Chain A
């Protein structure tokens, strides 16, 4: 067990190191915006929803499964909340309940189908993705901004961080800020970290992902564990959906398109393996940050075309995958 943990720690250290090196390179070579603390905090502001979604994805990946419905669920949550707030005259509190309800419902159904009916996770969540995307356009087929004053007040709430900030051209101190979503995201990371580290359920995720059969022999309820993984992932997709909604303030059928792949990429960069059994929530957090930083660097180099971003991201995934496979083969050699 100790051996395995050190391996996963090694991957985590590599992820964090790459992020730090990348960011410090950006600061020293590109300067400009990267030296401002706000640029760093904007990584969180922009990606709060992705962090939450990726955490859920990592959880499912640790159990050896996959959930590709999360992006579509995010979009569905945005649209339902937007329609609820603007057309149905709802308030923010009930829209939060709707968001969580949608997420839980998707998690519940998908978890049941995967864990208890033993249908392949990829197909179930693929259907979930199709269903959520289709439902989004049925609810409302066009993009619109939410005008609800209560919601707008919440959306524009900034949490200022005392003592950190930068001076603008006129020499006025502008304090750095984070949005509410960031607090939710960091809270999610903390809760899941504790769950995975010290709780029975969290430990059984690893056991089931590592080897379901031996987990079963150890007295772990494999089906229930898998079910909970998808339930939590669905719930987090609901939470992430609302945070995304809070950030963009609109409903659209094309929101969060490709978010599931970004979440998978972040988890992989963070050292979670698709085969299950190993992974780390902190790594996932750094995975999201690395992904966002490389996009920022490409943008600030003036290569603003979307295709350069994609190519660099792909190259980065490639490098991380190779590092992981080297670490894995080292482990395999030492165990023989």
Chain B
């Protein structure tokens, strides 16, 4: 009786251990615990006053959730692209610069510095969505129809994207000081939660609904695992691959819009720099195979939050911003080594030997 219960318990733990989301969640928990021990007030959330004079929430937790929003949105699209095409889009940072440039071009007109918007914000947003999806489609066509490796195909936009962004605004750095531009990257008047968090949550809900009510998830997985057999089963693998890139384009547009709205201005060479690396990292930390196939978007999202949590934690320990990557790299290596199949197998063997000994 007790034996049976024990084995059931063991099964339960084993099941959790085998879950893909286990590694990112446990990384997140370890980080939280670490912060809580180092500073018990770490998670305190206070009511502060925003620059516009409204009461808003402030605290480390809010900062982390706020700053992770773009990465979370990107990691959703990146997971799909990775799953379907077995490769990654390294042009997302450059395309964010491009999308942001379009937003400011429309909002600022030809002025470099204005204090009012030249067009409704929704127009600017739609234009930036259109442009980003077009560039996503460009990548998609190269990958799906020309059968290029995703990294090579997106290398083109990676190289040219920021330059095109500069060209869109005649190499000036437009600045729009209209408060309405900043709503989407900071706070809506009267709402205490930073708007990027709200946008990210909305995005996650929409993604969950799409995954629940369409066959996109299943088809993406099928194409990623074996494009040829999915074709024989009546799926159009090229179309699915193409669609994932267009969806990523949409994610990039939203992320770019938030990024621009945060500062109401843009610096082409700096904005969203290296975010493609972080987005790919989020996918990998989520335990998704970078060679495509089975995927879990929720794991990637947790992975994105882990990255941001780690960044803020390191800042709190007064690690200079430029040295940050070194510490990040150590954590990444530990995580990937722990989740490497070879290491996991070794662990399982060790455990088996251990329990066998105990039984004897």
Chain A residues near B (Cβ < 8 Å)? 66, 113, 116-120, 122-124, 126-131, 133-135, 137-138, 141, 253, 261, 264-265, 268, 273-275, 305-311, 313-315, 317-318, 321-322, 325, 328-329
Contact = CB atoms under 8 A, between A and B. Distances in A.
Interface of B: 88, 142, 146-149, 151-153, 155-160, 162-164, 166-167, 171, 277, 280-281, 284, 289-291, 320, 322-330, 332-333, 336-337, 340-343
A130 B160 contact: no
5 contacts: A128-B329, A137-B323, A307-B167, A317-B159, A321-B156
Contacts, number: 136
Contacts of B148: 321, 325
Give the 10 A-B CB pairs with smallest separation, nearest first.
A134-B326, A307-B163, A314-B160, A131-B329, A130-B325, A137-B322, A134-B325, A130-B329, A310-B163, A314-B159
A265 B156 CA distance: 9
B328 A130 contact: yes
A126 B330 CA distance: 11
A325 B147 contact: yes
Given A120-B291, A307-B162, A274 B151 contact: yes
A134 B152 contact: no
A123 B284 contact: yes
Contacts of B277: 126, 129-130
Contact of B159 (A123, A313, A328, A329): A313
A120 to B, nearest CB: 5
Nearest to A135: B326
A118 B328 contact: no
Given A274-B149, A307-B166, A310-B162, A138 B326 contact: yes
Contact of B332 (A130, A308, A318): A130
B341 A123 contact: no
Given A123-B290, A305-B171, A113 B322 contact: no
Contacts of A315: 160
Given A307-B167, A314-B156, A317-B159, A123 B324 contact: no
A119 B337 contact: yes
A143 to B, nearest CB: 12
A322 B146 CA distance: 8
Contacts of A128: 329
Given A117-B340, A310-B159, A314-B157, A131 B152 contact: no
B155 A137 contact: no
A310 B164 CA distance: 9
Nearest to B147: A325
Given A123-B284, A325-B146, A325-B147, A261 B329 contact: no
Contacts of A306: 163
Contact of B163 (A118, A134, A141, A311): A311
A211 to B, nearest CB: 15
Contacts of B340: 117-119
B325 A133 contact: yes
A261 B158 contact: yes
A134 B336 contact: no
Contacts of B153: 321
Given A307-B163, A311-B163, A126 B280 contact: yes
Given A118-B340, A122-B280, 18 more contacts: A116-B342, A117-B340, A117-B343, A118-B341, A123-B281, A124-B333, A131-B326, A131-B330, A134-B325, A137-B322, A138-B326, A141-B322, A264-B151, A274-B149, A274-B151, A275-B149, A313-B159, A325-B147
A329 B327 CA distance: 44
A202 B327 CA distance: 36
From A117, A118, A130, A308, name the one whose CB has the most chain B CB atoms within 10 angstroms.
Answer: A130
Contacts of B171: 305, 307
B73 to A, nearest CB: 20
B40 to A, nearest CB: 29
